[in-house]
Amino acid sequence: MTITNQEYAEAAIKANEAGKALKIENGKLTLVAPEPMKFTEKQIIFQNQQLKESLLKEANSEIDILNDKIEFDEATDDDVAMLKKWKLYRISLKKLDASDINVIFPEKP
Q: Model confidence over 68-102: pLDDT tens digits?
A: 999 999 999 999 999 999 999 999 999 999 999 99
Backbone angles phi and psi of 64, in degrees to 5: -60, -45
- 5 vs 2, 11, 13, 34, 56, CA distance in Å? 10, 10, 12, 21, 45
pLDDT for the residue 1: 64
**Cα–Cα distance measured from residue 58 to residue 107, given in angstroms and rounded to the nearest whole number:** 13
pLDDT tier at 24, thresholds 50, 70, 90: confident
Q: How many CB atoms lie within 10 A of CB 46?
A: 14
Residue 94, strand partner residues:
none
Q: Domain residue spans in the chain? A: 1-36, 41-95
